[in-house]
Structure formats: C-alpha cells, structure tokens
Amino acid sequence: MSANAISSATTTILFDHDGTLIDSETVHFRLWKEILANYDVQLSESFFNDVMAGIPVYQNARDIVKHFSIDEEAEVIAQAKHDKVEAFLHQQPFPLMPYAKETIKACFDAGYRVGIVTGGSKLSVEKTLQGYDLSSYVSTVVAVEDVKVSKPDPESYELAMQQLGVKPEECIAIEDTHHGLQSAVQAKIKCVVIPTPQTAKHDFSRASARYDSLQKWIDNEMSSH
C-alpha cells in the first residue's frame, strides 16, 4: 500500500513528532523502565510496543497502574515521567528519525506549509526545532498542552487546521501509530503511515498509503508531482 497521498488540492503537510520525526520511543521505553523499577515492575518491550507506544503520558500511567496493580496514583507516575523527559531534554533533543530534516525541507521547498501535531509536549518539539535548525520550516505546532483531549481524538488536527485556516482536503497527515492515524482520519484528513519497529503490528487499514521510511515516501511523492 504505497499510493500517492498528495493531490492537486494539497497545501499543508502535518507531521506527528514522536516516532515520525524523532526517534524517541527507545528513550521513552528506557525512562519508563527506570520509573517502574521503583515499583518492582519489569516493563517488557512487547507491553510497551503493544500498549504504550504513541500514547500520551497520562493515559500510559493509567494503563500501567491498572495492568500492574500498582498502589500509586496515575498522576504521580505521569509526573515522574514528565520530570524524566524534561531532564533528558535539558541535556539534548531527541535524535531525529532518518531523513526527517530532509523531508521537512523538501515539503517546504515544494511550497507546502508544514505543521507538527503531537501527543507529546511542546518542550520536546521546541527542542527539536531549535536543536536541528528547523523552526523556519514549520508554520504551526499543536502539542498535548494545547488541547483538552489528545490523540486518538481528532481535536489536535482540528486545531492545527483552524490555526492555519485550511480544510481537511488540503491536508495530509504523516503518522507512525494507530492512534495517530485514528486522530487524523477522524478529522477527515488523509493519512500516510510510516510504522516503526514498535508500531509495525498496529492496524493501519484506514491509511491512504504506507511506507517503510520518510525517504521512500518523500522520494515517491516528490517524483510524481
């Protein structure tokens, strides 16, 4: 399933952040393992991939407390995770996914407006934009702090379209998780999925196209427009 998603109506490309532009899931897994070790819980990679990858922190915390029967408030665990991520980001931005900078620049150079729509924090996006000199290419950022309900709810994408003054048919979303895909599709936006090893088994049946990498997607799209 690697059809073209960009059409003559497309003006705007909205990228997810974690797992799509930045290689953050391996860091998130390590930080969650450190937190849960304090509760004598060993977090498996399979549980992280199947239940946690691509999901906002507070929902992760609720799922963890319930699944592992941890005697702690979900808010406390979520705050511990936020603190660890903030400490990490004060040292460095998350590493970029392969070809992420080139992809954003190619979209911008082709005349598309670029936005970032994430279930993660604004701090994380700011660190990416500053650390890799990407700020000048990105017209809007919608992060978890900007919405009442994050992905898979469509609010994040709806807000991004509102900020940019565009309609769903003008937009393409680039996502790596089922929840992200769901968010975009519920906002009536066509969605290209580029799964990671963590999300390869997710249900992507509603995607407009699927690629193995950003480079394969952008090379295909730009060569046909």
Q: Would you give the DSSP letter of residue 22?
A: B
- Which H or E element spans position 171? strand 171-175
Does the pLDDT at position 1 exceed 70?
no
CA distances to 42, 101, 115, 193 from 39, rounded to whole Å, are 9, 39, 38, 35
Whole-angstrom distance, CA of residue 120 vs CA of residue 21: 12
Domain-embedded: residue 57: yes
CA 133 to chain centre: 19
Q: Which residues contact 41 (CB under 8 A, 6 or more apart)?
A: 64, 68, 70
Do 177 and 142 reside in the same domain of the chain?
Answer: yes
Q: Residue 2's pLDDT is what?
A: 57
Residue where one domain finishes, among candidates 91, 111, 128: 91
pLDDT digits (tens, 9 = 90+) for 88-122: 999 999 999 999 999 999 999 999 999 999 998 89
Residue where one domain finishes, among candidates 69, 91, 113: 91
Domain-embedded: residue 6: no
What is the model's pTM?
Answer: 0.87
Do 70 and 98 reside in the same domain of the chain?
Answer: no
Domain-embedded: residue 120: yes
Domain-embedded: residue 160: yes
Do 124 and 179 reside in the same domain of the chain?
Answer: yes
Do 83 and 188 reside in the same domain of the chain?
Answer: no
Give me the DSSP letters along 111-130. T-EEEEE-SS-HHHHHHHHH
Q: Residue 5's pLDDT is what?
A: 85
Strand partners, 138: 114
Do 66 and 114 reside in the same domain of the chain?
Answer: no
Average pLDDT over every residue of 168-182 = 96
Question: What CATH number does residue 49 fall under?
Answer: 1.10.150
Domain-embedded: residue 5: no
Question: What CATH number does residue 113 fall under?
Answer: 3.40.50.1000
Do 66 and 116 reside in the same domain of the chain?
Answer: no
Domain holding 159, by residue range, is 12-24+94-223
Average pLDDT over every residue of 115-130 = 95
Average pLDDT over every residue of 83-87 = 94
